[in-house]
Amino acid sequence: MKELEKLLDRIIQRVNINLREIEYDVNPLVRNLIPPNQMTKFYAFYGITPHHPLNFQFKHSNLSGSYFLGKCSVTNSLLYKSDIRGDELKQKADLFQYQEFEIPVAEDEEIEISDSFLIKTLVHNFSHDPETLERFFVRDTISTHYANIHGSPSDGCFLGPFSTVDLTTIQDCLVGAFSYIQAGEVSHLNIEPGTVWVRNPETFNFLYRFPPQRLSNYIYFAAGRSPQGVFIDFVEDRKEAFQRVFNVVNLEPSVPVPNSASLDRFAVIKPKTHISENVLISQRAYLQNAWLGKGANAQEHSYIINSRLEGNDITAHGAKIIEADLGKDVFVGFNCFLRGRPASRLTIGRDSIVMPHTIIDVRKPLKIPAGHLVWGLVTNKKDLERNSMPLKDFAKIDTRFSKGDLVFEGSGAEFVTTFKERIQHILEANGAFFNGHSNKGHAQRNQNISFNTIQPYPRGEKEGLYPTIIIRP
């Protein structure tokens, strides 16, 4: 266990050095967040498919309960129940399109995690940085419960619980709880909890901040305490359902799965769930009495409960949909929390976009009209008026615009177009448009994954650490 503790000390020191300019000490937040004995209880596992290049290398690291897919190396790091998803790694000889340039990929891309502590974090390589085509890195970084590092090389950062860094190269930054950042490239910033920031430096800037007191009911994180609030309680109340899927070697699907759909071995599927064609259900997703129409998806750490999704609906990483009805082509962004009640359902009309990190929590029936953009915190019709707008009207903004706690600058048309193009890419990548012959995506390619497990040293000074392991084709 001594080596494990020394490794944690090393990581904390390296992160603090990187955050010295903003005078932030992560030690009080991290030191006792995960008891060391927890790091020895769980096996790590990796997936092998014919479609994803294989090369895993683990050295001087703990990988407790973590999942790996695609080429990856982990060095001097602690990973606790994290998902490292490399199913969109670029391969040698691919051409990467950046603005007017087509850049050839010199070798297979690989995920590199070094000197980092990732707690229940999703890392997805969907790369965007032309300067690091062959290496997607997470260095000197600590991320806490249910954070997302999505297409975002990270160096010297601390990510609070339920935060997301999306398509952003980030360096020496503190990202507060439940903040969402998609800003291209940022450094040396202290981003307050509950910030939703979407920026294209040349065309638009979307900035919303949750009222701190209202947000603290949902997520609160302070030194010396584990994260608290509605989000944590919601997940904790359902964690026992995952024990069986991780403890049993062979587990048959509990519901019919069409040939064109994919149900991950490590997802939880409760009774009365319906899966249509071209549906993708990722690892650690939770579905209960859920109806998923053709082309819909439930991504990692998402929850869909007592809800109906008509088709081509996206439930992004960490999003939660409870007692709701979604029309076709609805996008629900990262870590959204959408909760109706049995007698007060939430209805979202087709072609709507629910911005990442939106909270809709209602006790009376609420209907969001078709073709709307929704953001922020919505608990009633008055909140909805302050925090929504028809997409066609948002597209008419061409200067500075404010509404409630939202400030927007630039081209609304470019903002809407960029989001719609992103949604189209997600549907294509996930196989929503598969026609039986062409347009395959993850829903079709992830059907035949073999899973392999590895375990750490059980006792002694190296207890909790994994031996050096190299796994190649």
Please state the domain extents for the chain: 2-225+448-471, 241-398+413-445
CA-CA distance, 260 to 243, in Å (whole number)? 28
Is the pTM higher than 0.85?
Answer: yes
**pLDDT averaged over every residue in the chain:** 94
Q: What is the pLDDT of residue 4?
A: 92
pLDDT cut 90: percent of the chain above it: 80
Whether 2-225+448-471 and 241-398+413-445 share one fold: the answer is yes
Q: What is the pLDDT of residue 22?
A: 94
H or E, element range at 95? strand 95-98
Q: What is the pLDDT of residue 323?
A: 98
User: Could you say which architecture CATH assigns to the domain 241-398+413-445?
Assistant: 3 Solenoid (2.160)
Cα-based angle 186, 427, 297 (whole degrees, multiple of 5)? 100
Sign of CA dihedral 245, 251, 254, 255: positive
Q: What is the pLDDT of residue 250?
A: 66
Q: Which residues of 148-173 are buried (b: 16+ CB within 10 A; e: fewer)?
A: bbbbbbbbbbbbbbbbbbbbbbbbbb
Fold of 2-225+448-471: UDP N-Acetylglucosamine Acyltransferase; domain 1 (2.160.10)
Spans of the chain, pLDDT less than 70: 248-250
Q: What is the pLDDT of residue 249?
A: 63
